[in-house]
A and B are shown apart, each in its own frame.
Chain A
Amino acid sequence: MYRQIMVPVDLAHEATLAHALAVAADLARHWGASITYVGVTSPVPGTFAHNPGEFARKLAEFATAQGAALGIETRAHPAIAHDPTTEVDDALLRAVDETGADLVVMQSHIPGLVDYVWPSNGGKIAAHARASVMVVRG
């Protein structure tokens, strides 16, 4: 059904991703699909990595570890945004095309009042990506 699953990850907040990671892994096993973990970084040093090179390395390690633990084929795809606060959606949308994903599985919060004015990242990806999008809550 699906061959390429893309999972956006914010590795500075890995703990919050558990649900989406598990769902994506189950789906990948079910269809024999491979998973590409997409991380968005800025060129400026951040909590998770000091530069884009280190970021790419750490993301690759994460993907390898996930692949080994879950027994699925995984890849890492780092993306860069000059101003991640506002450009993460666009970077993810580009990544959907670049990775050739046919399904995006992503974590999102439970929507509140603010989401009427300010859609979540998940909401924006679902609205604009060409691939199918599964937004995992909670």
Chain B
Amino acid sequence: MSDTDAQGIPEPEGHSQLIETDYEIGQDNIETSVGPFGLDIHNPVFLISGLSIIAFVFYALVLPEQAESFFGWLRPAITSTFDGFFLAAANIFVLFCVFLIFSRFGSVRLGGADATPDYSYIGWFAMLFAAGMGIGLMFYGVSEPMSHFSSSLGGITEEGGARTDWAPLGAAAGNEAEAIRLGMAATVFHWGLHPWAIYAVVALALALFSYNKGLPLTIRSAFYPIFGDRVWGWTGHVIDTLAVFATLFGLATSLGFGATQANAGLNLLFGVPVGPTTEVILITAITSVALISVVRGLDGGVKILSEINMGLAALLLLFVLLVGPTLAILTGFGKSLLAYGEYLPALSNPFARTDDNFRQGWTAFYWAWWISWSPFVGMFIARVSRGRSVREFIIAVLLVPSLVCVLWMSVFGGTAIQQFVQDGYTAVKDAPLELKLFEMLKELPLASITSFVGIILVVVFFVTSSDSGSLVIDTITAGGKVDAPVPQRVFWCIFEGAVAIVLLIGGGLSSLQAMVISTGLPFTIVLLLMCWAILRGLQDEVRGT
């Protein structure tokens, strides 16, 4: 009687091993309405996350000094005490992903043996890239290669037996060519395989346990092999609430800092006054565009914006490549790759190193940061990755973005280093972080146009982070349901902007950012457990065929 095969549904889905559990998706949800708005929310994750976020914002506002001194101490304490742990864990994630590519598990398909991908390569790639690190590339693309280059060139300085310089490894005192190589290798190290392996682990765990095992699309599902049915109780509530927490504060603090940085760019370009008024207007504008995007949905909003952004970023990249020192950049790309390969073992070695400042202040900090973002980015990647095989998934999430990052860093950082080394242009080295990109562009033709494109890119990258983040939080707080009413995602989107504005005006952005990074430590343990859960899940899939 049914004619199901003519439609867009891949039927049959083919082989997959469903997990049999008595839990019904949405069984803990409350369906109600507040005024004219319908709601379908998870009890108690929605309320607990909402209320505890408000409580923390109050804490940061009412006791700013206490909050700042506590979190100001906590973050460096964590990254310097557990630096070896962070470095070792990140290495495990990379090795785990590489193992999956070559193992027999690589052929397992997310969504069942016969599932077909929901998105084309371009749409898929644009979305995972925009959510993953787009905004960071805008700010660190010029500044990070520059920092590592100059600290390496400066050589090692010691005081009382401890190194006071920030150079990676053994530095490259006075050796310009080697300092460039080391600087690029260190930058690519922070933006290459390791962060994407972190995202890939979380995304793969979530995709596997929802598409192949039929569990709800929330963070707790990945823990089913470990905790069994207890994940539907308080164990799971805590995991999901933590994820909402890290996501919302991560987004709100980035939004706050991003507004400050966009403001600096606008000031340089158009003389727009710097101050809270402009910043609040910027946050409101970014949130409004994000709002339109989430109301239009995944395909009509988020995907389109991500693709536009991708196109703009590619244009800017191409422009700098062509009008900048093209030959030097292209050979630089090859050199950066080689240098990355050469220095990778030493840079990722967690033990017996002397470069304390670099290892703890840069590497461990980055690892904690990527890990605290991983629930958000991982869940978003999972949402758009059904129908890919594990091998295809890892290659696309791990290798392709890493290569793009090497290219990006070589073009933007390489151009800036050339400007400094060849032309003695020091502004690009001395400018504050948020202005380095614009200082670099200033030396190239059509600076006013490219700088404007740069600001637009910053803003749109924020919009894509904000809307995909709202979708993720909405799904988690709806117990994994993706068909919750629209007002809910509108609420989270506005809430996120409001938290950013309150913190920006009242102070407390940096202490909350420190707190977000501190969540990286518990999440590292969570991620290690996830690797084991993925192995268990994939074994079942392979065994059943």
Binding site for B on A (CB under 8 A): 12, 41-47, 50-56, 59-60, 63-64, 67, 74-80, 82-88, 98, 112-114, 118
Contact = CB atoms under 8 A, between A and B. Distances in A.
Interface stretch (B324-332, B478-486, B520-528): B478-486
A46 B111 CA distance: 14
A57 to B, nearest CB: 8
B342 interface: no
Which has the most chain B C-beta neighbours within 10 Å: A12, A41, A50, A85? A85
A75 B16 CA distance: 27
A112 B214 CA distance: 36
B3 interface: yes
Nearest to A73: B1
Nearest to A76: B2
Given A51-B112, A67-B1, A84 B13 contact: no
B84 interface: no
Interface in B369-406: 383-384, 386-387
Given A42-B482, A67-B1, A87-B300, A47 B25 contact: yes
Contact of B13 (A47, A51, A67, A98): A51
Interface in B141-155: none
The 3 A-B residue pairs with the shortest CB-CB distance in the complex, in nearest-first order: A86-B297, A50-B214, A60-B2
A86 B296 contact: yes
Contacts, number: 125
Interface string B459-502: 00000000000010000000011111110010000000000000
B397 to A, nearest CB: 18
B4 interface: yes
Given A51-B211, A74-B1, A76-B2, A85 B482 contact: yes
Given A53-B112, A86-B297, A114-B36, A45 B217 contact: yes
B510 interface: no
B320 interface: no
Contacts of A52: 9-11, 13
Nearest to A79: B7
A44 B8 contact: no
B118 interface: yes
Contacts of B480: 44-45
Contacts of A79: 7-9
A43 B386 contact: yes
B270 interface: no
Contacts of B13: 51-53
Interface residues of B, number: 48
B92 interface: no
Nearest to B29: A47
B65 interface: no
B24 A47 contact: yes
A64 B299 contact: no
Contacts of A43: 111, 118, 211, 386-387
A86 B8 CA distance: 18
A53 B441 CA distance: 52
12 contacts: A42-B483, A46-B481, A51-B112, A51-B214, A56-B4, A76-B3, A78-B4, A80-B9, A82-B299, A85-B482, A87-B297, A114-B36
Contact of A75 (B2, B471, B484): B2
B12 interface: yes
Which has the most chain B C-beta neighbours within 10 Å: A43, A80, A87? A43
A62 B465 CA distance: 40
A83 B482 contact: yes
Contacts of A74: 1
A78 B7 contact: yes
B215 interface: yes
B350 interface: no
Contacts of A77: 3-4, 7
Contacts of B214: 45, 50-51, 54
Interface string B237-268: 00000000000000000000000000000000
Contacts of B215: 45
Nearest to B474: A85
Which has the most chain B C-beta neighbours within 10 Å: A42, A51, A77? A51
Nearest to A84: B483
A79 B3 CA distance: 12
Given A47-B24, A75-B3, A98-B7, 17 more contacts: A44-B482, A45-B25, A45-B210, A45-B217, A46-B481, A46-B483, A52-B10, A53-B10, A56-B9, A60-B1, A74-B1, A76-B4, A77-B3, A79-B8, A80-B9, A83-B297, A84-B482
Contacts of B16: 51
A112 B26 contact: no
A49 B471 CA distance: 21
Contacts of B18: 50
B2 A46 contact: no
Nearest to A64: B1
B295 interface: yes
Given A43-B211, A59-B2, A78 B9 contact: yes
A44 B1 contact: no
Contacts of B384: 82
Given A43-B386, A85-B486, A113 B36 contact: yes
B12 A85 contact: no
Contacts of B486: 85-86, 118
A65 B31 CA distance: 28
A53 B115 CA distance: 10
Contacts of A53: 9-13, 112
A35 to B, nearest CB: 11
A98 to B, nearest CB: 7
A98 B6 contact: yes
Interface in B1-60: 1-4, 6-13, 16, 18, 24-26, 36-37
A88 B298 CA distance: 12
B216 interface: yes
Contacts of A67: 1
Which has the most chain A C-beta neighbours within 10 Å: B25, B111, B480? B25
Nearest to B207: A44
